[in-house]
Structure 1
Amino acid sequence: MTTSRIGRAWHTLTLLVAVTALVLQLYLVVSGENILDSSAVTTARPEQVRRYFSYFTIQSNVLVAVSMFLIVRDRMNTQVFRVVRLASLVGITVTGIVAAVALPPSPTYTTANLVCDRLLHVVVPALTFVGWAVFGPREKVTRDDLLPSLIWPVLWLAATLALGPFVGWYPYPFLNVGTIGFGRTLLNCAVIAMLFLALGGLALWADRRLSRERATMSA
């Protein structure tokens, strides 16, 4: 099996794991078996579904699935792919880092919930990062893609903060204006934005470095 075929198989596996985890988690929400947070006990099902799609983890996994699908289908010659690829890579990396540092799984999770949590927060981030580092595709990110890749996280932050006061809910404690205050929340948003920009720039630099090393090895 050639490296490209191994890479395609790896990206296909990542796609399947991401889609499976997303669908299973949504099924648990719709069926009422999943409690996203303590307030969900008294929250209507449509609102629980909306909250499901409001989580950064869910959105980053969706973007990973989209980028993997485009890679597997060999549809990589557009800026849309490059932006989605970079945004998904950075987003899922942030998901893995934050989950490891600040968001351990709830002790009240059922077995199914715990499986979903580990797939979405650990397995998909690991598969995505390793797949990018080892298999590429290389030279699919440019400086012109860096700022457009920030559109999604900025819009997510803006929508989260705008909707929070009306629905009385925030997906993460570090964005809960009612608990930590507006100033602290804005500071956290600034840190998140800088982290995205830094990781995006690092991904751009690493992609070029890996491309040069591969070209040198092939020479």
Structure 2
Amino acid sequence: MLNVAKLLPPTVRDLRPRSIVGAVRLALAVTCAMALISRYNWGLGSATFTPNNYYAYLTIQSNIAFTIVTVLAGAVALRSDRDPVWLTAMRACILTCTVTAGIVFALIVQQAGSNTVPIDVPTSDLVLHFWLPPLAVLEWFLSPGRGRAAWRTIVFVLGYTLTWGGLTMLRGATVGWFPYYFLDPGQLSGPLEFIRLSGLALLVFAVVGLAVVALTRYRRTAPGSN
């Protein structure tokens, strides 16, 4: 049987698996940071763009958190054979938010196109919503030394989402701007549509969160972690 490892250069063969994990995590963080900067610069070309509105998007908030925590996770992987439980919990929460934001954004773009009101999607948005989340999930699933995430992680995800939603509604009522159409009363037919769409969004968060946690239990990489 062909030994693939022998075909690799000695410097690659000698690398610890966790060193590779650390490098991948740092690469993901750098990619995310560059996409965030690019998205900000792209927004500056719009007459309606404001920094406060930019940071109000859940996508932007979750990807900023992703960048920071993934840098930390990369540093941990380079120095340790196992991720601490608290880091796994943080990453599970943030990964749930980034993946869900991508799904919701895809639905918004699809619906806008169906209504003949296409949304201009820059490359930075493609990276943040469609390219980075699958790569992050793949790294999450395959990384050695990543322990099991607790099911109660879902509670924190939903808690953050509800808090963000409540604050966004209060801010929107004050400044007259909402980051997503399903939160804007002016674009909805009434309270029932708001409840239906918001409930659907929460359901997606919960399902994605369950899937993220389940991945850590399907392939347990750090026995003894909870």
Is TM (by shorter chain) over 0.5?
yes
Alignment of 1:107-126 (within 5 A): 109=120, 114-126=122-134
Give CA deviations for 1:8-57 in whole Å, capped at 9, x if unaligned: 1211111001111112222344xx32x3xxxxx3x4x6xx1111001121
Alignment of 1:116-155 (within 5 A): 116-135=124-143, 137-155=145-163
Identify unmatched segments of 5+ residues in structure 1. Answer: 36-40
Alignment of 1:1-219 (within 5 A): 1-29=15-43, 32-33=44-45, 35=46, 41=47, 43=48, 48-74=50-76, 76-77=83-84, 79=86, 81-103=87-109, 109=120, 114-135=122-143, 137-180=145-188, 181-211=190-220
What amino acid sits opposite 1:51 in the alignment?
A: N
Aligned to 1:54, what secondary structure does the other structure show?
A: coil
Shift of 1:95: 2.0
What amino acid sits opposite 1:203 in the alignment?
A: V
Shift of 1:136: 5.6
Give CA deviations for 1:182-206 in whole Å, capped at 9, x if unaligned: 3311222222222222222222222
State the alpha-carbon separation in 2 of the partners of residues 123 and 184 from structure 1.
Answer: 31
Alpha-carbon spacing, 1:129–1:82, altered in 2? closer, same or farther (3 Å): same
Number of positions where the alignment pairs a residue of Structure 1 with one of Structure 2: 198
Alpha-carbon spacing, 1:151–1:136, altered in 2? closer, same or farther (3 Å): farther
Give CA deviations for 1:149-206 in whole Å, capped at 9, x if unaligned: 3222111111111222221111112222111123311222222222222222222222
Give CA deviations for 1:67-103 in whole Å, capped at 9, x if unaligned: 2012112184363x34431121111111222233332
State the alpha-carbon separation in 1 of the partners of residues 206 and 183 from structure 2.
Answer: 19
* Contact 1:146–1:200 under 8 Å retained in 2: yes
State the alpha-carbon separation in 2 of the partners of residues 183 and 59 from structure 1.
Answer: 28
What amino acid sits opposite 2:96 in the alignment?
A: V
Identical aligned residues as a percent:
22
* Contact 2:88–2:147 under 8 Å retained in 1: no
* Contact 1:82–1:145 under 8 Å retained in 2: no
Aligned to 1:103, what secondary structure does the other structure show?
A: helix
Shift of 1:127: 2.1
TM-score by length of 1: 0.78
State the alpha-carbon separation in 1 of the partners of residues 177 and 209 from structure 2.
Answer: 29
State the alpha-carbon separation in 2 of the partners of residues 145 and 101 from structure 1.
Answer: 25
State the alpha-carbon separation in 2 of the partners of residues 192 and 161 from structure 1.
Answer: 15
State the alpha-carbon separation in 2 of the partners of residues 123 and 157 from structure 1.
Answer: 25
Identify unmatched segments of 5+ residues in structure 2. Answer: 1-14, 78-82
What amino acid sits opposite 1:21 in the alignment?
A: A
Structure number with the higher helix fraction is 1
Alpha-carbon spacing, 1:182–1:22, altered in 2? closer, same or farther (3 Å): same
